[in-house]
Amino acid sequence: MAVINFGGVDENVVTREEFPVSKAQEVLKDETVAVIGYGVQGPGQALNQRDNGINVIVGQRKNSKSWDKAVADGFVEGKDLFEIEEAVEKGTIICYLLSDAAQITLWPTVKKYLTAGKALYFSHGFGITYKERTGIIPPDDIDVILIAPKGSGTSLRRLFVAGKGLNSSYAVFQDATGRAEERAKAMGIAVGSGYLFQTDFKKEVFSDLTGERGTLMGAIQGIFQAQYEVLRSRGHSPSEAFNETVEEATQSLYPLVAENGMDWMYANCSTTAQRGALDWKDKFHDAVKPVFEELYDSVESGEQAQISIDTNSKPDYRESLEVELKALYDSEMWTAGRAVRSLRPENKES
Give the CATH number for residue 7: 3.40.50.720
- Are 185 and 272 contained in the same domain? no
Instruction: Tell me what the mean pLDDT of segment 98-123 comes to.
Output: 95
- Are 69 and 215 contained in the same domain? no
Q: What is the pLDDT of residue 3?
A: 84
Q: What is the pLDDT of residue 348?
A: 66
Q: Provide the CATH number for the domain around residue 321.
A: 1.10.1040.10
Which are the contacts of 323, defined by CB distance < 8 A and separation ≥ 6? none
Instruction: Tell me what the mean pLDDT of segment 67-73 comes to.
Output: 97
> Domain count of the chain?
2
Q: What is the pLDDT of residue 349?
A: 58
pLDDT-based confidence at residue 126 (cuts at 50, 70, 90): very high
Residue 204 forms part of a structural domain: no
| 14 has pLDDT over 60 | yes
- For the stretch 281-306, pLDDT in tens is 999 999 999 999 999 999 999 999 99
- Are 195 and 258 contained in the same domain? no
Q: pLDDT over 90 for what percent of the chain? A: 89
Query: Which pTM value belongs to this model?
Result: 0.88
- Are 299 and 182 contained in the same domain? no
| 350 has pLDDT over 80 | no
What domain range includes position 130?
A: 2-199
Instruction: Tell me what the mean pLDDT of segment 193-209 comes to.
Output: 94
What is 127-144 written as a DSSP string?
A: HHHTHHHH-----TTSEE
- Are 175 and 217 contained in the same domain? no
| 174 has pLDDT over 70 | yes
C-alpha distances out from residue 321 to 200, 231, 330, Å = 31, 29, 14
Among 124, 185, 213, 232, the one annotated catalytic: 124
H/E stretch holding 43: helix 42-51
Can 285 be counted among the known catalytic residues?
no
- Are 61 and 141 contained in the same domain? yes
Closest CA to 157 of 148, 165, 147: 165
| Range list of β-strands (E), 20-104 | 33-36, 56-59, 81-82, 93-96
Asked if 212 and 218 touch (Cβ cutoff 8 Å), the reply is yes
Asked if 30 and 182 touch (Cβ cutoff 8 Å), the reply is no
| 243 has pLDDT over 90 | yes
pLDDT-based confidence at residue 4 (cuts at 50, 70, 90): confident
Q: What is the pLDDT of residue 312?
A: 85
- Are 128 and 44 contained in the same domain? yes
Which are the contacts of 250, defined by CB distance < 8 A and separation ≥ 6? none
**Residue where one domain finishes, among candidates 199, 221, 236:** 199
Residue 205 forms part of a structural domain: no
pLDDT-based confidence at residue 202 (cuts at 50, 70, 90): very high
Q: What is the pLDDT of residue 260?
A: 95
